[in-house]
């Protein structure tokens, strides 16, 4: 049966079967002094890569988007294309020591959320290609070293006297971003000192490194961009990704016969898991919370953990560690079933679950990584996390979220003829807004996540898939 809403057909495509409370402080200055040289080439040159890639959107060649694009390629059995994308990122690590924020020479001063190991794992699980794993393995070790380096590592002493090491975003840049120099300079114009402006530029670049550019999550004052303090925050999701990297390296090392490396990374993953639970877990909220470091301009060798340094504002990132439950055999569960149930119930009560998916935050600030926008990666991470928790209730909740997301993507596509980078989850079928650039269409991660959801759940035959008028 075909129904119509706003003049558009609601018939399913094809047969219906898928084949596929923040502490404050003075702005201070960053603990790291850098000499930043501006070269003309940094503003115009692309970074040469080795293989043809699928683009995320016309204006984007940013590696983090490709993890979710690869999800769609694997569903579509485009294995060689998926490998080409991964090998391009491997090449960047070989050349620069980390995956660049994008394939531009002016991005060599900042990275991005580290999802390369997860990409390699997913491709291996789909293809069983050991040669591919062996080719990528040294780069995974190199990327891990980058995130463990002194500029990224933070030591926290908990109240039991145990020392924990976690990671933060820390771009190696203190000038306007070449791709957005006019915007950055205009924002910085209200700051009076050179040091304050350089610190602001550093925080902007570090926020871009996070992928959440921009959000009230990183600001001491959500209405003032100059209060960005990203490099003083220990993010939940970054440390989740690095822990997943350590799990993946453990698995790969064992697979290729590197037992010493496997044992070392097994211990590293256990240590980071303990750190996440000790520093970031909040038992009252039953969520993991970003941790704010003192903003005093001083470098502390070890920070003492304080409960009021956890950011108790709700963001979708608070639930990302659900994704940690092992998807490869031989590794222990990192979020047990009892805790998964608590976190799931906390998510249900959080206010983030909206008619068209999961909102990024509850604060409508005009920033694109805030309410009412929802983004494909966050839907995917949370849905996958719920699926991996193992309970039937969690699976039903995951399917409900996925259905909301598929519905809004489908209806918006029928209305506009395009897939969008973000959606307004408060209103089904509406693309998102906000931010410092024109909203993009295309769009690699939106396409990949939709295909992943359809592969997992199929087309929702028994549900209305048109938004109500």
Q: Are 458 and 410 in contact (CB under 8 A)?
A: no
Structure tokens at 235: 């993010």
Is 284 considered catalytic here? no
C-alpha to C-alpha distance for 93 and 105, rounded to whole angstroms: 14
Dihedrals phi, psi of 422, to nearest 5 degrees? -150, 160
Count CB atoms within 10 A of the CB of residue 150.
Answer: 10
C-alpha to C-alpha distance for 70 and 56, rounded to whole angstroms: 11
**Closest to 319 (Cα-Cα) out of 246, 265, 260, 394:** 394
Environment class of 146 (CB within 10 Å of its CB; exposed 0-12, middle 13-18, buried 19+): middle
- Per DSSP bridges, beta strands 153-157 and 303-304 are parallel
Is 213 considered catalytic here? yes
Which is catalytic among the residues 184, 198, 213, 399?
Answer: 213
Which is catalytic among the residues 122, 399, 421, 424?
Answer: 421
Q: Which residues are catalytic?
A: 213, 421
């Amino acid at each position: 049966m075909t129904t119509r809403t706003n003049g558009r057909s609601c018939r399913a495509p094809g047969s219906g079967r898928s084949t596929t409370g923040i502490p404050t402080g003075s702005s201070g200055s960053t603990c790291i002094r850098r000499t930043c040289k501006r070269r003309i080439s940094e503003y115009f040159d692309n970074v040469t890569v080795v293989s043809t890639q699928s683009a995320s959107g016309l204006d984007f060649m940013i590696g983090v988007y490709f993890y979710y694009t690869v999800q769609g390629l694997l569903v579509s059995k485009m294995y060689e294309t998926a490998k080409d994308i991964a090998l391009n990122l491997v090449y960047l690590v070989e050349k620069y020591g980390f995956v660049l924020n994008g394939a531009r020479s002016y991005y060599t001063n900042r990275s991005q959320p580290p999802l390369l190991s997860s990409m390699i794992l997913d491709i291996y699980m789909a293809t069983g290609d050991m040669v591919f794993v062996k080719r990528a393995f040294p780069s995974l070790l190199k990327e891990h070293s980058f995130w463990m380096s002194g500029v990224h590592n933070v030591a926290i002493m908990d109240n039991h006297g145990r020392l924990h090491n976690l990671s933060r975003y820390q771009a190696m840049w203190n000038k306007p971003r070449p791709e957005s120099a006019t915007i950055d300079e205009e924002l910085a114009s209200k700051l009076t000192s050179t040091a304050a402006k350089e610190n602001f530029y550093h925080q902007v670049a570090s926020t871009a490194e996070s992928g959440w550019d921009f959000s009230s999550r990183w600001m001491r004052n959500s209405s003032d961009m100059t209060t960005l303090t990203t490099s003083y925050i220990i993010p939940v999701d970054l440390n989740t990704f690095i822990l997943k990297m350590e799990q993946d390296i453990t698995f790969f090392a064992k697979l290729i016969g590197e037992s010493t490396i496997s044992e070392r990374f097994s211990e590293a993953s256990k240590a980071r898991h303990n750190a996440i639970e000790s520093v970031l877990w909040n038992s009252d909220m039953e969520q993991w919370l970003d941790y704010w470091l003192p903003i005093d301009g001083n470098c502390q060798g070890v920070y003492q953990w304080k409960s009021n340094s956890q950011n108790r504002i709700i963001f979708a990132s608070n639930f990302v560690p659900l994704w940690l439950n092992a998807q490869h055999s031989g590794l222990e569960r990192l979020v047990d079933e009892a805790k998964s149930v608590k976190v799931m119930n906390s998510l249900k009560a959080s206010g983030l679950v909206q008619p068209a998916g999961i909102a990024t935050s509850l604060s409508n600030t005009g920033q694109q990584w805030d309410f009412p926008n929802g983004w494909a990666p966050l839907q995917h991470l949370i849905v996958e996390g719920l699926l991996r928790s193992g309970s039937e209730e969690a699976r039903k909740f995951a399917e409900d979220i996925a259905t909301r997301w598929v519905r809004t993507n489908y209806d918006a596509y029928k209305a506009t003829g395009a897939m969008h980078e973000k959606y307004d989850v408060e209103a089904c079928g509406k693309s998102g807004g906000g931010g410092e650039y024109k909203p993009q269409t295309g769009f690699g991660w939106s396409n990949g996540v939709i295909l992943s959801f359809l592969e997992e759940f199929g087309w929702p035959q028994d549900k209305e898939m048109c938004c109500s008028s």
